[in-house]
Structure 1
Amino acid sequence: MNRLYKYTLAILLLTLGTMTSCTKDFEEINTDPNNPVAISPSLLLPNAIQVTVDRYWGHSIRYERLNIDAAMCWIQHLSRNIYINAEGDSYEIPLTISSGTWNNIYKESLINFEKVKSLSGPGKTYENANYVGIAMVMQSFAYAYLTDVFGPIPYSEALKGTAEEAINSPKYDSMEEVYAGILADLMEANDLLSTSGPAVVGDIMFNGDIMKWKRFANSLALRIANRQASKKATESRAIMSQILANPTKYPVIESNSQTAELTHFDVIGSRNKMFDVFSTRSDWNISTTLINKLLALDDERITVYAQPLADGSYAGLPNGLTDAAAGTYNASRIGLKYLDPTAPSVLMTYAEVEFIKAEAALDGDITGDASEFLESAIKASFKQQGLTMPGDYMSRIGEVTKESIMTQKWIALFGQGVEAWNEYRRTGYPVMPAPNPSAVFSNDGILPTRIEYPTSEYSLNKANLDEGVRKLGGSDNMRTPLWWVD
């Protein structure tokens, strides 16, 4: 009996010891390394950047492609030969373009950049001012994208759903307020970003090159300041002068090697989204408007933007034709450069920065020679396409005016349909030709001035949406002009 007692006691003590040991290391043993409870900024940053770029440049989800299906057709870079009434070329778009743009930018892009900031701020687990600066630059780009296509948007309260005092129905801020916030954030981001600061991981845009992030931040600030210049002249001039007067503190994009773009790899999920769309479908052609302008200028960029026909010539397709009428044309397709799966998605170029300077100099907002800036911009555009600007090209475009600057900018922005659409709506240039007699347009025949708010806002945030529409200054349709229209 005594032996049995001692044996039982020994087993009990051994069991208790084992239980104590397991309890002591319980959290460590039961932590799944494949499902971390804390996510580092390096894991959040890549997808947030990818979503933002894809939604701006183009992605592969049908009926959600604002740039490819709508803006590039509206601005007459591209035209459609089928599905014309259903996917943008006739000024009619599915509601999913609105909801897809809105939902993905807010839920997949902006919220993740906000998490990067909260994880990397002072005293936080992954404290790193460069992460914060990068997130602020990309948020600024994303908010600018949203407000430029919708108008007033949730901004100051947009990302406070998980705050201590949660706001699940955010108010709408006016475009003027959004622009002011963006410009302040870009200035702060420039101060935070430091080439001598800690390294960042997960930067799929510039591979950790902080100087390129600073250049992008300040170039983007020039874009925003110039866009609002007709409404806030004094402030815009001050911002542009501040940046351009101190290139050491405020570097901008100064060469094609510093372009803000996302490089792609030939693997599913990473590939250039225009390749995903245009290489599998043949229902887009180059617009007659663009082809005719390039031919009139004897502009070699036509060889990059478009594929020649069998006889070596180039021909466009008028916008807005019915499917039957479009089927009678033999028109050029988009150039092979854009069918390369590794071709970059472009956010901002050296050429654009020089075009901004040219317009600002012409308007008296900055000092400098508008003609010299324009020539520099065109040279940069040619070089971006692997070409050399002809020595007599400036004489082909004639006098340097707002129209000639903006028309050349429109040519250079091929691929960036949303940006070209922004500039057309703001300035009215280039002057578009009269519609083809066989064209049939919706939206009262008016080239869209914006896109409508998603239907989800009417059901989930109606009171604030109504105030946003009031700030818009017109009805929630595709004919109400935006705040920065000249």
Structure 2
Amino acid sequence: MKLNKIAKAAICISLLTAVGCTGDFEDINTNPNGFTPKELEQDFNNIKGGFAPMFNNIQVLTPEWVYQLQQGLSCDIWSGYMATPTGFAGGINNTTYSLVDGWNVFNWDYAYKYVMFNAYDIANKSKGKYDQFYALSLILKVEGMHRVTDTWGPIIYSKFGSPETTIPYDSQEEVYNQMFAELDTAVAELTKRVDAGEPSTFVSTDLSAYGGDYKAWVKFANTLRLRLAMRIVKVNPTLAKTQAEKAVAHKFGVFTTNADLFKIVSPVYTNPIATISGSWLDIRMSADMESILKGYNDPRTATYFDTSTQFPGQYKGVRTGIAINGKGDHQDFSGIGSVVRSKEIVLMTTAEAYFLRAEGALRGWNMNGTAQALYEEGIKASFDQRGASGAAAYIADNVKTAVAYVDPNFPENNSPALNNVTVAWDAAATNEVKLQKIITQKWIAGFPEGQEAWSDYRRTGYPKLFPVLKNYSGGTITTQFGVRRINYVTSEKAANAGGVASGIAKLNGPDTGGTRLWWDTTGPNF
């Protein structure tokens, strides 16, 4: 990965670029008819231009087919959230564990071109001079790039921007340590400005729902720290506890109301899943979602999914990793519902913050609440976010569990239920059962953000997901444990072969989809 290639691509999409993208970058940069450096610095315009690409490409908003390849046909499916009725590439693809490099490259490329490059550029222009913007770029960088390291493991991070031909990778542990330090910097900087009563300079830059509010951004950074802390709990429990307690103990704390949640609010683009599901019919409810939501008679179902057009009044899911004879076999099952038919893309919910704290409390950490109380607050927050009623009865239900999956068109896809936990908290249950309850409800509440759900599934094994029936990985990915990561893409191997080699050396396993990441250990949850 060479910086000049990334820079050229990023410049082409900059909102400040008023001319077509050519090879004459030096001429363009000194064009007497364009903006002068002095003019660009007015109202921080030289810095602000890099933020929109960062906001819009943590999850790609447009074009929809890029989102489909960046996330829709990978972690949205591997998380158990969604399934495809379309037999792409003859059914031999990501869904059946034959990882498609031409799809997965978009996850890598868009993160580096639009998130990492702009974070680097903003840092060069603002660090030590306009540190409020540097702080904001760090938070967005961590939010965008933790998704990348959680997909590949070792990545280019601390050495990004190096002029060398070979750019070495950091281990995932090194990336996480740097991310915690970057959050330290951002939180300290913005907290200082809140305490001083300083007016925000983010207002016109902020594409979230925060409207430039420094305090809201600190709460997001704290909650992001809490998420990352829990991710490493099995590999470094001491650091996990320290970071989690630091997040909760901060004077502004973590998310506690749904006004706190982090979402991108686009003035133009609807969530791409709406098109992929509603117009293209390429994504449907998963069999896992049907089994769990139907079993719990979950009131959020009607927001998450539409009823089937083939089976009116019913919610029907598709099992992942099956033989697909034709798209018509399952395309009229349940599509994704009103949850995606808006210009708001939620990347972190308040419910998640409560469930993270519930798990922390279960582990004996100081989370300012008991595991049960925080677990139940998480369910309530999710119901409130989705406008669903009946939270109290749902929380108290100690009878309902997931139900068997039935494919009315192809019974060979049927399966007994895998998840046997009820919703109601059981103080007498083992920590493992309590964790399964927490993660299952966290999984439901986080829909449709599949990246985080896939990471939780890999870390904890919950909720239990139906195994694929077709596995074309050639033995590199087990049917039992599923996809653990994505192998390094061929374009990166061609441009930075030495760097990729350094990453593989730090991976502690072969460069396949079955190799576990640093935090994805085989050890028990407790």
Q: Distance in 1 between matches of 2:156 and 2:31?
A: 41
Deviation at 1:203, TM superposition (A): 1.7
Deviation at 1:429, TM superposition (A): 0.8
Aligned residue runs from structure 1 range 105-184, under 5 A: 105-122=111-128, 127-160=129-162, 166-184=163-181
User: Gaps (5+ residues) in structure 1?
Assistant: 1-28, 161-165
Deviation at 1:392, TM superposition (A): 2.4
Could you list the per-position Cα deviations for residues 240-272 of structure 1 after superposition, in whole angstroms to 9, with x for gaps in the alignment? Answer: 2222223x2x4322211111110123x3xx332
Aligned to 2:418: none
Q: Cα distance 1:199–1:298, how it changes in 2: closer, same or farther (>3 A)?
A: same
Contact 2:456 2:462 in 1 (8 A): yes
Aligned to 1:47: 53
Question: Alignment partner for residue 232 of structure 1, among 210, 213, 236?
Answer: 236
Deviation at 1:31, TM superposition (A): 2.4
Amino acid at match of 2:54: A
Aligned to 1:32: 33
Deviation at 1:395, TM superposition (A): 3.2
Q: Distance in 2 between matches of 1:302 and 1:431?
A: 19
Q: Distance in 2 between matches of 1:134 and 1:53?
A: 17
Deviation at 1:36, TM superposition (A): 5.9
Query: 3-state DSSP class of the match of 1:261?
Result: strand
Q: Distance in 2 between matches of 1:480 and 1:53?
A: 25
Q: Distance in 2 between matches of 1:115 and 1:159?
A: 9
Q: Distance in 2 between matches of 1:415 and 1:271?
A: 14
Q: Cα distance 1:97–1:64, how it changes in 2: closer, same or farther (>3 A)?
A: farther
Contact 1:58 1:68 in 2 (8 A): no
Aligned residue runs from structure 1 range 433-448, under 5 A: 433-435=466-468, 439-443=469-473, 444=475, 445-446=478-479, 447-448=482-483
Contact 1:80 1:284 in 2 (8 A): yes
Question: What is the TM-score with the length of structure 1 in the denominator?
Answer: 0.84
Q: Distance in 2 between matches of 1:87 and 1:128?
A: 46
For the pair 1:241 / 2:274, whether they are aligned, the reply is no
Q: Distance in 1 between matches of 2:322 and 2:265?
A: 35
Aligned to 1:163: none
Aligned to 1:67: 71
Amino acid at match of 2:353: V
Could you list the per-position Cα deviations for residues 186-245 of structure 1 after superposition, in whole angstroms to 9, with x for gaps in the alignment? Answer: 011001112333512322123312122111111100111111122111222122222222
Q: Cα distance 1:416–1:59, how it changes in 2: closer, same or farther (>3 A)?
A: farther
Query: 3-state DSSP class of the match of 2:322?
Result: coil
Query: 3-state DSSP class of the match of 1:478?
Result: coil
Q: Distance in 1 between matches of 2:119 and 2:125?
A: 10
Contact 1:63 1:96 in 2 (8 A): no
Aligned to 2:222: 218
Q: Which moved more, 1:345-354 or 1:384-393?
A: 384-393
Query: 3-state DSSP class of the match of 2:58?
Result: helix
Amino acid at match of 1:416: E
Q: Distance in 2 between matches of 1:481 and 1:104?
A: 23
Q: Distance in 1 between matches of 2:65 and 2:183?
A: 31
Contact 1:289 1:433 in 2 (8 A): yes
Deviation at 1:458, TM superposition (A): 1.9
Question: Alignment partner for residue 495 of structure 2, among 445, 448, 460?
Answer: 460
Question: Alignment partner for residue 505 of structure 2, among 463, 467, 470?
Answer: 470
Q: Cα distance 1:241–1:30, how it changes in 2: closer, same or farther (>3 A)?
A: closer
Query: 3-state DSSP class of the match of 2:384?
Result: helix
Q: Cα distance 1:284–1:144, how it changes in 2: closer, same or farther (>3 A)?
A: same
Contact 2:153 2:517 in 1 (8 A): yes
Moved over 6 A (4+): none
Aligned to 2:295: 296
Question: Alignment partner for residue 432 of structure 1, among 426, 445, 465?
Answer: 465
Q: Distance in 1 between matches of 2:67 and 2:127?
A: 38
Query: 3-state DSSP class of the match of 2:510?
Result: coil
Contact 2:115 2:145 in 1 (8 A): no
Contact 1:152 1:174 in 2 (8 A): yes
Aligned to 1:9: none
Q: Distance in 2 between matches of 1:211 and 1:170?
A: 36
Q: Cα distance 1:296–1:169, how it changes in 2: closer, same or farther (>3 A)?
A: same
Deviation at 1:87, TM superposition (A): 5.1
Aligned residue runs from structure 1 range 96-107, under 5 A: 96-107=102-113
Contact 1:157 1:167 in 2 (8 A): no
Q: Which moved more, 1:214-223 or 1:310-319?
A: 310-319
Amino acid at match of 2:205: G
Query: 3-state DSSP class of the match of 2:201?
Result: coil
Query: 3-state DSSP class of the match of 2:347?
Result: strand
Deviation at 1:380, TM superposition (A): 0.9
Q: Cα distance 1:109–1:328, how it changes in 2: closer, same or farther (>3 A)?
A: closer
Contact 2:305 2:337 in 1 (8 A): yes
Q: Distance in 1 between matches of 2:66 and 2:201?
A: 38
Deviation at 1:276, TM superposition (A): 3.5
Q: Distance in 2 between matches of 1:392 and 1:49?
A: 38
Aligned to 1:199: 201
Aligned to 2:358: 358
Deviation at 1:94, TM superposition (A): 2.2
Q: Which moved more, 1:255-264 or 1:81-90?
A: 81-90
Question: Alignment partner for residue 86 of structure 2, among 79, 82, 88?
Answer: 82
Aligned length: 437
